[in-house]
Amino acid sequence: MKITLLTLLSLVLVSLPVFPGGFTADLSTQDSPVIAFPASPDLNPEEKLGCIITADSVSFALFAPRAAQITIEIFDTSLNSRQNSPMRQTSDGIWRFTSIQDLTGMFYGYHITGNDRQDRFYQPAFLIADPYSSAVMTQNDYRHQAYTLIIDESFDWGSDTWLEIDWQDLVIYEAHIRDLTAHKSSGLLENLRGTYLGTVHPAGRSGINHLQTLGVNAIELLPAQEFANIEIPFQVEINGVTNTWNPYSRNHWGYMTSYFFAPESYYASDGSLDPGEFLGGSGRAVREFKQMVTAFHQAGIAVIMDVVYNHTSQYDYQPLKYIDRKYYYNLDSDNNFTSLSGCGNDLNTARPMTRKLIIDSLKKWALDYHIDGFRFDLAAMLDWQTLSAIRDELTFLNPHIILIAEPWGGGKYDPAGMSEHGLAAWNDVFRNTIKGQNPIDGQGFIFGKLWENADIPEIQSLIQGYEIQDGGFFQSSAHSVNYLESHDDHTLGDFIRLALLQVTETDSIADPCSHNKLTPGQMQLHKLAAFILFTSQGPIMLAEGQEYARSKVIAPSSAPDANIGRIDHNSYNKDNETNWLNYDFMDDNMELVKFYRNLISLRAEYPILKHSSSSDYTFFPGSNPLSFGYTISSDLSTIAVLYNGNPSDEAEFILNAPSWRAQFWTESIKEIKWGAKTTSITQKPSSGCFLVKN
């Protein structure tokens, strides 16, 4: 994630209360060792929080350690107040209320009062929803006024369960739910576009149909936990902050979580962001999210969720900010929210009840939604004890669960640490070395460059899975998630267009259609990059549209954006054709789409590409310094892979066997000479080849 926003001004909080049960709430603002709650009959680590529905009652439990008084207010479907009741505080800092009425379909929220006037504890005049909300109704406004929906979450899963996919076998498609089907070229009726149900609808050419045709076996959804869709108005001062950076006043990607237990209502079949309207009151998102997961599983596609536990949303009434900000958040010396995430409101994950909230949330998605895995945004900002607890709890539930870290955040970078703790991680070194770090002066191997003085042995280590014994980060190649493009930064298509100087970031693109269609030179580099990706050990990740070299040209809209028509490298705020997948553009580059399909098939046909160790490789040089090849042997086959990263010179390779069959290539091989004991193969510039020994 890469979003830079201003942080809100905060109020000073002090006071360390001691509760009757015998534990002290650690509310210090600075980093501190993890505080473990002493064993107490009053504190059950399995304590359920939120709304708990049983056969004869509905109970509510909220952890608010420094509140002086909490009142729960219950509303009918018209938001008329039906009941306003004080809650009872127990010795573990949890406030409780129980009703024997059937409240299903109603809404509720909390009124909280601080315990010390001198503490300047924030006492919101508004109602806050439950941080454990399973479903939430929110108003379409930057404040995101919310009410928790009391909902029957029962669902007939039939025989559905988690998929069991070896991490090495993963081919992940990173995608945004709306982007997959929102464009009219998706072939869906308008009411289905951009929804959970549209994503898996059998009609049209988009969503699940496209993913099945492509051959991927996992989808990684950009954040779909209820998030703050709307930001403060452009060029308007709100509480001392003026939005000068986001003319759309929108958050499209979703990296601003408001409610960690509830699915985003905007993607439900009744979703809308009409200003001032309430969204999510029907609770459809809960059922439709589960229907989507079921359909993906039936297609053999695992569902991975991108989750954000390093910070919370910025401008809305996110409940943790008002329950006890000093407990849940990292604050600076002036008791303001820190923003090492770059997004404000950094969570203090080392707090025991913050950790509990995170783990409870993940377990809910795994158990109640059959989610197969999680990708942790800015995972370096989560403390190690929390990450270890996540691993232990989730693998206990599902030994095959997929756990992937974005191994940086808050000024930290530790992919090796993630691997030591049992998590896979995005391998940005692979991305930067093969493609490059930036298209202007940070190009990589496919352009005939060596990024940051990387040498050929470094590239060879990356291809082997970048394991520690080969100078890399990872305990196992299964932990190296190899990729060339993600939602962040330029698409691979735009990176290549810019690097070849066939467009600049300041150009206004009048005809996106002709701009999108690849030139022969662009196509050649795309194929070489994809070929290297799919012939490397470790899980594979593609970004949506990578298979047709999608370009993010800023689409015309009503927003006062001075950059319309230019290439966008940070499209987090655009719920429009800048981000939506245009399947007509896919037709223009169908040659590349078929190439990706064939690579995915090749990888499935030859497990040796996924399940080999570094000791199985034999490397040999090509005739120019930017070329090399290798062989791998197994009981079933012996293969050879050749790369020529030189954009101007051919490369000759000598294989120590006379009998080889060229199975796959990025460009037709210029020449093969069969000798008595060796085979000489000459490859064109910027090309690759996969051979099988007869």
286-315 pLDDT, tens digit per residue, is 999 999 999 999 999 999 999 999 999 989
Residue of 642 and 11 predicted with greater confidence? 642
Cα atoms in the Cβ-side hemisphere of radius 13 Å centred on 543 = 21
Structure-token pair, residue 457:
């042995």
CATH number at residue 650: 2.60.40.1180
The beta strands (E) that lie in 223-347 are given as 225-227, 237-238, 241-242, 257-263, 278-279, 302-307
**558 and 488, same structural domain?**
yes
Distance from the Cα of residue 668 to its chain's centroid = 37
**Distance of alpha carbon 190 from alpha carbon 203, whole angstroms:** 12
Read off the pLDDT band of 45 (50, 70, 90).
low
The yes-or-no verdict on residue 1 having pLDDT over 80 is: no
What is this structure's pTM?
0.92
- Contact status, residue 588 vs residue 147, Cβ threshold 8 Å: no
Comparing CA positions, the residue from 452, 460, 461 lying closest to residue 432 is 452
Is there a contact between 341 and 378 (Cβ–Cβ < 8 Å)?
yes
User: Is the domain of 490 the same as that of 624?
Assistant: no
Give 553's DSSP letter.
B
Count of domains observed in the chain:
3
- Does 490 lie in the same domain as 592? yes
Domain with 649, as residue range(s), is 616-693
Domain check: are 206 and 83 in the same one?
no
Single residue among 587, 608, 629 that ends a domain in this structure: 608
Indicate whether 5 belongs to any domain. Answer: no
Residue 236 lies in a domain: no
Instruction: Give yes or no for residue 9 having a pLDDT over 70.
Output: no
* Whether residues 144 and 181 fall in one domain: no
Q: Are residues 565 and 620 in the same domain?
A: no
Q: Is residue 158 in a domain?
A: no
Tell me: the pLDDT tens digits for 456-484?
999 999 999 999 999 999 999 999 999 99
- Indicate whether 323 belongs to any domain: no
Judge whether 36 lies within some domain: no
What lies within 8 Å, CB to CB, of 407 at 6+ separation is: 379, 380, 413, 414, 415, 417, 418, 425, 426
Whether residues 114 and 182 share a domain: the answer is: no
Q: 15 pLDDT exceeds 50? A: no
End residue of a domain, out of 553, 583, 608 = 608
User: What are the tokens at 454?
Assistant: 């990387």
Using a CB cutoff of 8 Å and minimum separation of 24, what contacts does 470-476 make?
A: 470/614, 472/429, 473/415, 473/416, 473/419, 473/425, 473/427, 473/429, 474/415, 474/416, 474/419, 474/425, 474/427, 474/538, 475/419, 475/420, 476/419
DSSP class of residue 104 equals T
What is the mean predicted confidence (pLDDT) over 70-92? 93
From the list 624, 671, 683, 666, the residue with the least C-alpha distance to 522 is 666
Residues 90 and 136 in one domain: yes
Q: Give a yes or no: residue 288 inside a domain.
A: yes
* Residue 245 covered by a domain: no
Note the pLDDT of residue 115: 59
The per-residue pLDDT for 230 is 96
How does residue 122 score in pLDDT terms, banded at 50, 70 and 90? low
444 lies in the same domain as 588: yes
Average model confidence (pLDDT) across the chain: 91
CA 214 from chain centre, in angstroms, equals 20
Q: Model confidence over 550-565: pLDDT tens digits?
A: 999 999 999 999 999 9
Give 553-556's long-range contacts (Cβ < 8 A, gap of 24+). 553/509, 553/512, 553/515, 553/578, 554/578
Average pLDDT over residues 106-111: 97
φ, ψ for residue 162, nearest 5 deg: -65, 150
The predicted pLDDT at position 71 comes to: 96
Does residue 445 register a pLDDT over 60?
A: yes
**Identity of the residue numbered 635:** D
Partners of 84 in the β-ladder:
73
pLDDT, tens digit (0-9, with 9 covering 90-100), for 174-187: 999 999 999 999 99
Contact 194, 177 (CB under 8 A): yes
Whether residue 635 has pLDDT greater than 90:
no
Contact 535, 605 (CB under 8 A): no
**Is 479 contained in some domain?**
yes
Rounded CA-CA distance 597/61 in Å is: 50
Q: Lowest mean pLDDT: which of 117-131, 156-170, 539-553?
A: 117-131
* Same domain (yes/no): 515, 655: no
The strand pair at 424-427 and 480-483 is best described as parallel
pLDDT bracket for residue 19 (50, 70, 90): very low
In this model, does residue 243 exceed pLDDT 90? yes
Q: Same structural domain for residues 375 and 303?
A: yes
Q: What is the pLDDT of residues 653-682, one digit of tens each?
A: 999 988 999 999 999 888 889 888 889 999
Give the CA count within 13 Å in the CB-facing half-sphere of 284.
14
Q: Is the pLDDT of residue 509 over 90?
A: yes
CATH number of the domain encompassing residue 562: 3.20.20.80
pLDDT mean over 625-639: 93
Answer with the one of 114, 149, 184 that is the final residue of a domain.
149
Q: What is the pLDDT, as a whole number, of residue 249? A: 96
Query: Do residues 396 and 435 share a domain?
Result: yes
Task: Give 366's pLDDT tier (boundaries 50, 70, 90).
Answer: very high
| Pick from 648, 650, 615: nearest CA to 537 | 615
Can you tell me the mean pLDDT for 374-394? Answer: 98
User: Which strands sit side by side in the sheet containing 136-139, from one edge to the other?
Assistant: 81-86, 67-75, 107-114, 146-149, 136-139, 278-279
